[in-house]
Amino acid sequence: MMISRGLFGLSPPHIQPLTPVSEVSEPPESPSPYLEGTAEAAAAAAAQAEAEEEIEEVEEMEPPPAAVPFSRLFACADRLDWTLMIVGSLAAAAHGTALVVYLHYFAKIVHVMAIGGSPPEGGIPVQVERFKELALSIAYIAVGVFVAGWIEVSCWILTGERQTAVIRSKYVQVLLNQDMSFFDTYGNNGDIVSQVLSDVLLIQSALSEKVGNYIHNMATFFGGLVIGFVNCWQVALITLATGPFIVAAGGVSNIFLHRLAENIQDAYAEAASIAEQVFPSS
């Protein structure tokens, strides 16, 4: 039997196929139209479910509470509190007006001393007597400021403490009247306690300090306008022109302070919640 030789007397090697028959890739199967329909239906159902959940969340979302009028700040005041607030308001108005009156008399002293000018008529003795009268008036104003300031601070602090004590007691009564489910849902952390404490502190600060300071500053403002228009209305008009800028600056600062107070309140609530979860487990 003859065996075929190659070009140089060697037999060519046995040539194997590049890809084994068992590993030959089969053509991809065409996707089934039934599977596509099922996937599309599932996606549509999921989208519809999400839309329904969003609608339910919007419906369940409660509207934000309405702003409380300023008069409701004194809802827990009794007759004694109203008396203290009236006396404190009058004292605050007197305290604020005293600054303007003091500056008015100080300007008269400068005029009597004739700084940078000729002495008044009558010579030095008349000038000294007039100076003594004005200095005595300023001393009386200082005594009045001390008394008015003490009455203002005492009355507003006392009524603030009394009204916040009533608010705390009413809050405890409301909590005691709640069902057990309320404490299971909302009373498992320190959010309620921190919220109430911060709100009560804000109310106490408003009653004990902010209202009295507001009356004090408004009395100073209007008293200064009256004294200014009586003495020199031209300068008073120039000063009055700066009022809008002062109001705008106060409004901007109030916005930032309000946001800062909200951030502080949220931080206290979160800290109270973490402490409530950590300490019982330790």
pLDDT digit string (tens) for 149-167? 999 999 999 998 898 888 8
Closest to 88 (Cα-Cα) out of 173, 210, 254, 171: 210
Banded pLDDT at 234 (limits 50, 70, 90)? confident
Structural domain includes residue 149:
yes
Q: What is the CATH number of the domain that holds 195?
A: 1.20.1560.10
Structural domain includes residue 276:
no
Structural domain includes residue 46:
no
Closest to 187 (Cα-Cα) out of 272, 271, 64, 261: 272
Contacts within 8 Å (CB) and 24+ apart, 270-275: 271/190, 271/194, 272/189, 272/190, 272/191, 272/193, 272/194, 273/189, 273/190, 273/191, 275/190
pLDDT digit string (tens) for 37-87? 565 666 666 666 666 665 555 444 555 566 677 777 788 888 998 999 999
Give yes or no for residue 14 having a pLDDT over 50: no
Instruction: Kindly list the distances between the CA atom of residue 155 and the CA atoms of 77, 97, 199, 212, 271, in Å, as whole numbers in the listed order.
Output: 13, 18, 21, 9, 35
Closest to 228 (Cα-Cα) out of 107, 145, 129: 107
pLDDT digit string (tens) for 123-132? 677 778 888 8
Instruction: Kindly list the distances between the CA atom of residue 282 and the CA atoms of 187, 274, 277, 278, in Å, as whole numbers in the listed order.
Output: 20, 13, 9, 6
DSSP 190: S
Expressed as residue numbers, the domain containing 133 is 73-241
Structural domain includes residue 130:
yes
What is the structure's pLDDT at 225? 87
Structural domain includes residue 184:
yes
Structural domain includes residue 55:
no
What is the structure's pLDDT at 151? 94
pLDDT digit string (tens) for 187-196? 555 566 667 7
How far apart are the C-alpha atoms of 25 and 247, rounded to whole Å?
Answer: 81
Structural domain includes residue 252:
no
In the chain, how many domains are there?
A: 1
Angle between the 233-240 and 211-231 helix axes, to the nearest 10 degrees? 140
Structural domain includes residue 6:
no
